Structure 1
């Protein structure tokens, strides 16, 4: 089933521009560590590229997570490979369900650098089960949810939160697909260490291949 635009007809995919936020982009400097400086970088990128939404990041290696302790637990390898696609859009931007689905779980993960408000939906696509994760939402997005609540394709699902509620980031949607949520509720790793990259590559397929926008 063709995916409905995540931000609806007002922000269609032809207004999206791919941005490099990897560790290899030396122009970034420390821009990603602070929401305001990150937003300035993205605003400049969009102004220069003629876009309205910056996107990218699947399996991208980022330095962003080095400043958050839960991505770098003592005695474990650093988690720095991003498992979803980020879509950077203004706070309050409405997120729409790309396919028919039902609520699997949700949470408000308030630790700095975490998802903030997050929703997982369960779908059946081409006869197979698949889960989608929406992170860095507004707190109001969690109101009225219950397990199994249905969302039809194109129905408003949530809205993007600001730094005070979304884990401390410039406003964006972390969108990730998951084959097996492995018992997680209102959560699933969105970043992994190099040693586990191949496992997560298989369990978290490229969202852009499913969305079919580009």
Structure 2
């Protein structure tokens, strides 16, 4: 499946406002190992200030990254935090794209709405949309988390969507699980019985399964290095 996903497009695919060129994107790490994160990582306001300075410093608009990052930020929430290190969910399974609240969110490829839900646990996705894709006999799903409440107002299961069609907008910290505004974008092979939700963070104990079932979104996004981005 990874080869199939990688070969769908040779160019980066958009999941946020296509009027923002890829030259405005910059990698970012929010891993626990990043020594620059000297602020209170449990505070969405301090994250917003850090990101604002990051964008100003680098003269960019969108920051991206995070697949399989080990992060401290989830320890603030009982939704993720477990007593044993093995069971603590702190390994990120998607790619985050950090940008302004209200930014248009786009379907990565043609598909149909599989499900949607407002996941209201503290530190959770908030409003979330999942799209089912069927391409050349291969089925997989894309998940868009941390959206605005308005994104769930005019939507229905089974609705067809086109590649780069607007499916919603980015939410702010008051609705998105209390994070600085960003899109959590994730690929899923087997959605299991989930609707409008799917684990976006893994523990060490379950990582082997989730690495197989949630392949790197950069197989589609192709945002893994600046050289590639600035070609387009």
Residue pair 1:4, 1:97 contacting (<8 A) in 2 also? no
What corresponds to 1:188 in structure 2? 198
What corresponds to 1:42 in structure 2? 51
Residue pair 1:77, 1:193 contacting (<8 A) in 2 also? yes
TM-score computed with the length of structure 2 as normaliser: 0.88
Instruction: Point out the more displaced range, 9-18 or 154-163.
Output: 9-18
* Structure 1 unaligned residues grouped into runs of 5+: none
Q: Distance in 2 between the 1:189 and 1:159 partners?
A: 21
Q: Distance in 2 between the 1:118 and 1:8 partners?
A: 17
Instruction: Point out the more displaced range, 108-117 or 46-55.
Output: 46-55
Match runs of 1:107-186 below 5 Å: 107-186=117-196
Q: Distance in 2 between the 1:181 and 1:95 partners?
A: 21
Residue pair 2:105, 2:166 contacting (<8 A) in 1 also? yes
Match runs of 1:62-77 below 5 Å: 62-73=71-82, 77=87
What corresponds to 1:13 in structure 2? 22
Q: Distance in 1 between the 2:38 and 2:70 partners?
A: 14
What corresponds to 1:199 in structure 2? 209
TM-score computed with the length of structure 1 as normaliser: 0.95
What corresponds to 1:26 in structure 2? 35
Aligned pair 1:60/2:69, yes or no? yes
Q: Distance in 2 between the 1:125 and 1:73 partners?
A: 38
CA RMSD in angstroms comes to 1.5
Q: CA deviation at 1:5?
A: 1.5
Corresponding residue SS for 1:70: coil
Q: Distance in 1 between the 2:59 and 2:135 partners?
A: 33
Corresponding residue SS for 2:212: helix
